[in-house]
Amino acid sequence: MFDIDWRGLLVPLAYVFVLGGTFMTFSTIYRKRKAVQSANLAPWFGPHLQRNIYLSLLHMEPEAGSEKAPKVPDSIIRAALLRRAVEDIHRIIQIRTAKASCSSLLQRGSVGDDLWQRFQRAEKEMEEELRDVVMEANALAPNWGQTIFQSANEIAANTVLRERMDEIKATVDSEKEWWEKRRAGIQTEFMKELDEAEKTQIKAGSEDDTVLVDTNTPSATPSGASKKKKGKK
């Protein structure tokens, strides 16, 4: 039969083993590292304060000395859940708007892979969070789960609107002040001009630029030109 030269075979076998071993170690180490990395990725959203409040209200620990935990009124728990739902609405809007752009940016290579992983995890978490809120709502009041997010949505939209209103209102004082000053300035100039005109009995030039409110009339800018054109049409 065949006479196998074991010593001669040793070298190629060793080569194969070393090669295979290297690949195996490399891939296991690489995978482990990847797993650790993705586990350590920072969460997309910060801590969910409203949820934490709700849960701590729900599971009040009995105070030291007393047997029973303090009873939290139902309305407060409901309000806390509604707050939680409002926060969820903010987050879900953020995720919905970000999804398409995030994936397109990832394809183009403008953002990194780990951002996408974080994003997907946040998406999954949000789904669970929503389900959880619906279940909690149903437990608190029958069929509330169907409407809680509608009301939360309205609250969220209202908050955004009010914030913007406040921002605009905040500028009222300074605007008013500026306008008063400005009016006073224009008035004094006018008076001065009138006085001068009376004194010298010479007509002042028809235009005096320092009086013009809008010093930069866009005479040559195309936007002005386009308006004129529109007028003709």
Partner 1 sequence: MSTDYAYDEEGYLWPFFVFTLTFIVTLPLTYMLINRSRDPAAQFQRVQTGYRHDQSALVDTLRKQEKRKDRKIWLMAAVVGGWAVMAYTLYLINTTVVPALDLWNPYDILNIPESASEKVIKSTYKKLSLKFHPDKAKPDASKNETIEDLNARYVEISKAYQALTDEEVRNNYIQYGNPDGKQSYSINIGLPKIIVSDGAGKFVVLLYTLMFGVLLPYLVGSWWYGTLRRSKEGVLMESANRLFRAYKDDIDEGGIVEALSIGQEYEELLKGDKADDGLSKIESRILAEGQLSPLAGGLSVKDKRKLEDMESGPRRKALALLWAYLGRVELDDPGLAKAKFEVAPIAHALNKSFNAIALAYMNTAPLLASYYTNQLLIQALPPKASPLLQLPYFTPKVVKAVEGDSRVHTSVQSFMDRPDAKRRSLAVGKGLLTEAQYREAVNVAKQLPYLRVAKAYFKVTGERFIIPSSLVTLVVKGRFVPPGSENVPEVNELDLEDIDPAEDDLDAILGRKAKNPVKKDENGKPIADKSGSSDPITPPLAQAPYFARDHSPRWHVFLTDSKQGRVAVPPFTFAQFDCPVFEADGKTPTFAMQTLKAQFQAPPQAGHYTFVMHVVCDSYVGFDTKMEVTLIVEEASKAALMKDEEEISEPEEDSIAGAMNALKGGPAPAAKPKKLQKVEEDSDEESGTEEEADSASDTNTDTEPED
Choose between 206 and 215: whose C-beta lies nearer to partner 1. Answer: 215
**44-74 burial, b for 16+ CB within 10 Å, e for fewer?**
bbeebebbeebeeeeeeeeeeeeeeeeeeee
DSSP 155-218: HHHHHHHHHHHHHHHHTHHHHHHHHHHHHHHHHHHHHHHHHHHHHH--PPPS--GGG-S-S---
Region from 74-82, 135-143, 146-154, 218-226 binding partner 1, contact rule CB under 8 A? 218-226
Helices 144-170, 113-140: axis angle to 10 degrees equals 120
Distance CA(121)–CA(128), nearest Å, equals: 11
**Is residue 215 at the binding interface for partner 1, with CB under 8 A as the rule?**
yes
CA distance 177 to 73: 49
Query: Minimum Å distance from CB 15 to partner 1?
Result: 12
* Torsion of the alpha carbons at 209, 210, 212 and 216, rounded to the nearest 10: 70
Q: Does 166 bind partner 1 (CB under 8 A)?
A: no
> Binding to partner 1 by residue 220, rule CB under 8 A?
yes
- Which residues in the 96-115 window bind partner 1 by CB under 8 A? 97-98, 100-102, 104-105, 108-115
Cβ closer to partner 1: 34 or 131?
34
Closest CB 34 distance from partner 1, rounded Å: 12
**Residues in 8-67 that interact with partner 1 by CB under 8 A:** 44
Instruction: Report in angstroms how near the CB of residue 109 gets to partner 1 at its nearest.
Output: 4
Least distance (Å) from partner 1 to the CB of residue 28?
18
- Binding stretches for partner 1 (CB under 8 A): 44, 97-98, 100-102, 104-105, 108-115, 178, 181-182, 185, 209-210, 213-226, 228-229
